[in-house]
Amino acid sequence: MVAGVGCHTMRFELVNEPAATVITEHKSYFLWGLAPTVDVDVLNKCPAGAAALRERTTFLDGLMSLPTLGIWSPRSTTYYCRGPHAEQRSER
């Protein structure tokens, strides 16, 4: 049964700069990942915008979805937030 647990990662690079802040959270999905339970506003997490986003199903996420046969499945999301822009830094 453990052989059915799979991992995947999707990473989206939005700008070519290092992240100033990294935020990781776990979200729930239903129907094998087709129906999210939450709408995410990235600007609430990263006020200056996101440099990159990574969404993945870790081994533990996959293992936790096994009892429901994928009807409920958690995923881990990481937000790589940009730092303040140059004009914002000069105002401080």
Residue 8: band (very low, low, confident or very high) from pLDDT cuts 50, 70, 90: low
Q: How many domains does the chain have?
A: 1
Residue 84 in domain: no
Report how far residue 69's alpha carbon sits from residue 10's, in angstroms, rounded to the nearest whole number.
22
Q: Which domain holds residue 60?
A: 2-79
pLDDT digits (tens, 9 = 90+) for 43-72: 888 888 889 988 888 888 888 888 888 788
pLDDT digits (tens, 9 = 90+) for 23-36: 999 888 888 777 87
Residue 72 in domain: yes
Q: pLDDT at position 81, please?
A: 92
Residue 59 in domain: yes
Q: pLDDT at position 65, please?
A: 85
Q: What is the pTM of this model?
A: 0.73
Residue 74 in domain: yes
Residue 14 in domain: yes
Sequence-distant (≥ 6) Cβ neighbours of residue 68 within 8 angstroms: none
